[in-house]
A and B are shown apart, each in its own frame.
Chain A
Amino acid sequence: MNETVVLKRKDRIVKKPDFTEKKSYRPVNVKETGLSFIGHEISEDGNVMNQFFHYDQLYTIRHGWNSKFFKGLLEGKIWGTRCPKCGDTWVPVRTHCWNLDCNLEKTEWVEMPLNGKVHTWTVAGWSGRSSLKRLPIILVYAVIGKSKVAIANELHGIKPWDVEFEMSLKVVFKPEEDRIGAVTDFHFEPADGWEPSPIHQEKERIKELVEPVYKWVKTLK
């Protein structure tokens, strides 16, 4: 009898989300085998042993109150948040205001324009294992619309040596069927009508550094 009462109270307090829209893009090599010892090696003199330990887990990132931003990416939209008290706006989003005088005021969602400006940039010739084949990558920190913060993402449609501080950008989304609800669903491109400045010493230097990267990437399997 008591148990029934508790369950009823729980139902009223917490509404469990019903995940009706599901999509899986798990690569075939994720096996979720958990923890296992899968081999070892011993040195010729018999003094040293190494053991190979495999750890393969699937994590769930529960976006919770940030969900609207990531769901927005699937729809080709950039959502930001704004503090109703002080008006500061952010993308990446904050669900509570950063201004201590606003006492963690809950923020409201605002749709951001699909344009921005380069705050700073770099040309990567090396990266994590999962990104090596995409090198060289131009990474920019860009300010979208009136955001108070810069967001990191790739800049496409431009030679690595032609990037400039403060250059105007547009946000370009992948085709809808390729989106996964992550920030990689979009990238930046130079705003329409943007033209690179003439070649100069720094551009020559970046070219010199990047050319071996193009060659090296071609050798990757």
Chain B
Amino acid sequence: MLRKVCIVGGATTPFDYGPTGFESIEGGAAECVRETQRDIPEFSLRDIDLMIYSHFSVHFGHQLAAEWIIHDHLGLVGIPHYRVENGGNTGGSALYAAALAVMSGHHDVVGVVGWETMDSVSQSQGSEFIAMASDIRYELIVGGIYPIYYAAMANKWMKDNNVTEEDVASISAKNRNNAMDNPKAQWYRNEHKYITVEDVMNSRLISYPIKKYDCCLMSRGVAFVLVCSEEYAKKVNPDGYVTIDGMGLSSCTIRAGDRLNFPGWTERYGSGYPEMTEFGACRNAADQAYKMADIKNPLNEIDFGEIHDAFSTSEAQIYKALYLADENNIAQFLRDKTTHMYGEIPMNPGGGLMGYGHPVGATGLMSAIECFYQLSGMIPQKHLSKKTEVSDPECGIVNSHAGTGTSISNFIIRRV
């Protein structure tokens, strides 16, 4: 019998770019733990029996095994630790690892710290560093940056699904405007303005059909999540803990062009899927998570989500991969603003990667933390108002996403 896995607390530093955030990763990690302790005073660092570190790129960190610096700083000598790296899905994969550790019964209280310091190089250099996770022999050298690969995938997806630039621009505006209610969000701390679909449409071309405001932010930031057994959850946060009822992790090709006819996908979903347009790994990870959590109708049974909006287009593609809409109704699903705060299934009330920010190793954890806050009724104390609080949620989805859809995890999290 697998053990139930719970989340009892977590916090992030403010996400930012440049010298306005926390000035050291270990200092940021310590502050995240301190904030968690303020939320759940019964939690002590002495309770932790495993630490998992979530960090994407040594290129940004200019320090191999930087987790050793953080671990040491937190005073946790003797406690086992290791780092998880899985591209943009590093945070989701670290959460997956922590959940497995608790589920197995081998560990009871697992701390997960994620971080990225993308402001250690210029923005254009940073884009190139991230793109080194694409195949440098075939793709980096011709495309150069991820938005170009995503744009090529989205261009065809939008044509195939009758989705317009305005439809996806509405997602960009939604997430940035949600972030205006979140004091830790990079958009709130810097640009600090409400935007419209028109603003998105008028922002500069990055790669057709993606414009500047269709893209997420490049960030510095740290996050901490506390994952544990139900026994421990009942001890430290009996009224506010949530459970990870379902989880799935799946993979796809590194080069987007290699998934037109991949035998592994043809076996699972028939020929012609995921093509270069759909996120097969997202669908597969959702299938696993839904099965585990006994979700039959995701649109009805899931109340909200914190998902990986690296681009407005990819958030829309993720809706479809998660079975929230299909090719017949995805365009209308977007036009109906189904995922806005007042819609049927609000997505990224915390601001997402476009509003909160995307310090890669911390991102998936940030999504899980926002999901936890919603389910445990903490939004009024963490956001500036109740505008971005989902009404009485019972079930949320967390999605973390890497490469061109190369590794994707989904988590179904429920209030107890």
> Which residues of B from 114 to 145 have beta carbons under 8 Å from A?
122, 124-125, 127-128, 131, 135-145
Query: Which residue from B142, B156, B262 sits with its C-beta under 8 Å from A139?
Result: B142
- Which one, B84-92, B253-261, B291-299, B329-337, is touching chain A? B253-261
A152 & B143 in contact (Cβ 8 Å cutoff):
yes
A126 & B147 in contact (Cβ 8 Å cutoff):
yes
A209 & B144 in contact (Cβ 8 Å cutoff):
no
A50 & B142 in contact (Cβ 8 Å cutoff):
no
Query: Which residue from B127, B211, B262 sits with its C-beta under 8 Å from A128?
Result: B127
Residue-wise interface mask of A (89-118) relative to B, using a CB-CB cutoff of 8 A (1 in contact, 0 not):
010100000111000000000000000000
B206 & A125 in contact (Cβ 8 Å cutoff):
yes
Query: Which residue from B139, B152, B206 sits with its C-beta under 8 Å from A121?
Result: B152
A92 & B155 in contact (Cβ 8 Å cutoff):
no
CB distance from A48 to the nearest CB of B (A): 6
Residue-wise interface mask of A (122-146) relative to B, using a CB-CB cutoff of 8 A (1 in contact, 0 not):
1111111111100011011101000
Cα separation A125 to B263 with both chains bound (whole Å): 35
Query: Which residue from A98, A121, A129, A183 sits with its C-beta under 8 Å from B124?
Result: A129
A148 part of interface (Cβ distance < 8 Å): yes
Cα separation A182 to B154 with both chains bound (whole Å): 27
A125 & B207 in contact (Cβ 8 Å cutoff):
yes
B205 & A125 in contact (Cβ 8 Å cutoff):
yes
Q: A139-B152, A141-B257 are in contact. Are A61 and B263 (CB under 8 A)?
A: no
Query: Which residue from B125, B137, B145 sits with its C-beta under 8 Å from A61?
Result: B137
For chain A, give the interface size range. 35 or more
Q: A92-B258, A141-B256, A212-B205 are in contact. Are A128 and B151 (CB under 8 A)?
A: no
Q: A48-B23, A122-B152, A130-B144 are in contact. Are A92 and B135 (CB under 8 A)?
A: yes
Number of interface residues of B (CB under 8 A): 51
Q: A124-B151, A184-B142 are in contact. Are A149 and B260 (CB under 8 A)?
A: yes
Known contacts A120-B153, A128-B145, A183-B137; 17 additional CB pairs below 8 A are A92-B255, A119-B257, A120-B155, A124-B207, A125-B208, A126-B212, A127-B148, A128-B124, A131-B144, A139-B142, A139-B143, A140-B152, A141-B256, A148-B261, A153-B142, A183-B142, A212-B204
B residues sitting closer than 8 Å to A (CB atoms) are 19, 23, 62, 122, 124-125, 127-128, 131, 135-145, 147-149, 151-153, 155-156, 159, 165, 204-212, 255-264, 276-277
Q: List 29 A-B contacts (CB under 8 A).
A: A55-B62, A63-B137, A70-B137, A88-B261, A92-B135, A100-B264, A119-B156, A123-B208, A124-B147, A124-B151, A125-B207, A126-B145, A127-B145, A130-B144, A131-B144, A136-B205, A139-B143, A139-B148, A139-B207, A141-B256, A143-B260, A149-B258, A151-B257, A152-B142, A153-B142, A165-B156, A183-B138, A212-B205, A213-B205
